[in-house]
Amino acid sequence: MTEINRFTLIVAAILAVLIYLASTTLNTESIATTAIPTNNSLSETNNTNLTSTNYCFTIPILTGGIELMKKWNEENIVNNKEHDAVFMAAGITHEQVWIQHLPQQQNQDFAVVCYETNDPEQSFKVLATSNEPWAAKFREHLKNAHGLDIAQTSIKLNELLIDWKK
């Protein structure tokens, strides 16, 4: 991995954490914010023996992918019962997606994604294997906008490095 790629990934990870923290205190604009039932947790809360994790990750956006993401949101997420059913089956209760624009010299934008779920690994498994038509469309969208085939790729969960709380 080149130094520029390593730097880009580090910056994207730091930005993901900062965006998550800002979203908990500020009214930030995101592509998708949907209430429905994500790699290691950034925070956990305990509600009557249920542990919910805010699982955040970054994914590169291919050329033309931002437009695809915006169109996808409008046509396939907002007020979409099929989306809600698939995400509920995956155990995802909240979804947020931001576009992180990096400096021009990096020549790469990232999607910063946060899912709230009790079991991130199981959530990804359901999204990767569901036979629901909407889930198949979602997997195709991930290929077109991000170059990611979650049905063929083993999703490795994030490694929690810092979990500070005051």
Specify if 47 maps to a domain. Answer: yes
What's the domain range around 139? 3-146
The 10s digit of each residue's pLDDT in 34-50 is 333 333 333 343 334 45
d(CA 126, CA 12): 26
Specify if 160 maps to a domain. Answer: no
pLDDT band at 31 (very low <50, low <70, confident <90, very high): very low
pLDDT band at 6 (very low <50, low <70, confident <90, very high): low
Specify if 97 maps to a domain. Answer: yes
User: How high is the pLDDT of residue 154?
Assistant: 84
Least Cα distance to 86 among 124, 143, 132 occurs for 132
Specify if 51 maps to a domain. Answer: yes
pLDDT more than 70, % of the chain = 69
Average pLDDT over the chain, rounded to whole?
79
Token pair 């995101």 is found at 30
Specify if 162 maps to a domain. Answer: no
Specify if 156 maps to a domain. Answer: no
What total number of domains does the chain contain?
1
Least Cα distance to 59 among 88, 115, 100, 89 occurs for 100
Specify if 59 maps to a domain. Answer: yes
Specify if 138 maps to a domain. Answer: yes
